[in-house]
Amino acid sequence: MSRSTLTLNAAVFLAAVSLVGCSRGDAVEMAAAAAPFDDTVEVANCDTVQQFDAPPQRIISMNDHVTEVLIEMGVADRIVGMGYQDATPTPETAEEFARIQGLADEYPTREQILDLDPDLVVGGMRSAFEAKEGRSRDSFTEIGIPTFLFSEYCGSGLADIGMLETDYTQLGDILGVPDAAREVTDGVVNELVALREDLDGVTPTPTFFYDSGEAAPMTIGGVGVGQLIADQAGAANIFPEGERPYLDTTWEVVGERAPQAIVVLDYGDTSAQGKIDFLKNQPIMATTPAVREDNFIVVPLDDFFESPRLVTSAETIAKALHPDRFQ
């Protein structure tokens, strides 16, 4: 992918105003009045290099887990709109989450985004910047609006916790809150380190992570938050070769790999219990050790993204797989 460079300065910003054909009034004055950085902040995020002369003041968050991260970094007052408005936030972020303008049950349209005159759009999944919907990162770059995408959905995926640290550090630098970003990052890293210490010496349990699908199952690949959670929780993902966060496979292959445990991701129209009932009645899955021993672990999908919630998922799985380490 070619690298595009976006320089966010006053001239480009005001040009973007005219391109979207909207008078920003007080909003523009507020953004323009943000104290400039002493030195231009430059970040390379998912093959896009961007430069910031001042901290963005009008942020659109495309995913609920992104919104929670931004709230924890102390910039809730700068979020002018968010996607996934009906999501259930963490208790720690609920009050501020409720104050933010919700734009859509899933992603806002390009028109909704431009109407709010953002100076930064942050996405937590590749689909946040869907080109077919007119929301590609390049299309925003062309009109002077910078974007940021969490690294799990860059080409190489989230290989390890270091990529989360990089994402949070870069966001903190862009937003002018490096100390707050470091505090959030340290909280995640330290809790995972403590969990790994509890599990020191355990043999990872072969585990199938069931996302969805009846004709063909979808599971986690070898990169992404799912693999990170598995590694931290003492679970051996039976599809470590996958080069994306999620992949489709077949029941035959799952059966051949004989998982001893199944993590069920809870979301969507089919309940977790509905998924478990299906797996128990699926002829091939019924022969696996996990189903025969009724070894199912339910994890909310909300806790399976690049956010502090991933610690909760890792702890839930670790305690189910290795209960003797937590007595």
Domains of the chain: 4-188 (3.40.50.1980), 199-326 (3.40.50.1980)
Q: In this predicted structure, what is the pLDDT of residue 26?
A: 44
Mean pLDDT lowest among 6-15, 178-187, 193-202, 239-248 = 6-15
Q: In this predicted structure, what is the pLDDT of residue 5?
A: 46
Q: In this predicted structure, what is the pLDDT of residue 159?
A: 60
Q: In this predicted structure, what is the pLDDT of residue 4?
A: 43
Alpha-helical regions (H) of the chain: 10-20, 26-32, 64-72, 94-99, 110-115, 137-141, 161-175, 178-198, 225-233, 251-256, 272-281, 289-292, 310-321
Mean pLDDT, range 28-51, rounded to an integer: 78
Q: In this predicted structure, what is the pLDDT of residue 154?
A: 80
pLDDT at 119 over 50: yes
Percent with pLDDT over 70 in the chain? 88
Q: Nearest Cα to 121, choosing from 105, 133, 137? A: 137
pLDDT at 13 over 80: no
Mean pLDDT, range 61-83, rounded to an integer: 97
pLDDT at 23 over 80: no
Q: In this predicted structure, what is the pLDDT of residue 120?
A: 98
Residue bearing the bigger pLDDT, 28 or 316: 316
Q: In this predicted structure, what is the pLDDT of residue 113?
A: 98
Q: Nearest Cα to 307, choosing from 67, 94, 101, 141? A: 67
pLDDT in tens, 204-253: 999 999 999 999 999 999 888 999 999 999 999 999 987 888 999 999 99
Question: pLDDT band for position 157 (50/70/90)?
Answer: low
- For 205, the 3-state DSSP assignment is strand
Mean pLDDT, range 66-80, rounded to an integer: 97
Mean pLDDT, range 102-115, rounded to an integer: 98
Q: In this predicted structure, what is the pLDDT of residue 224?
A: 86
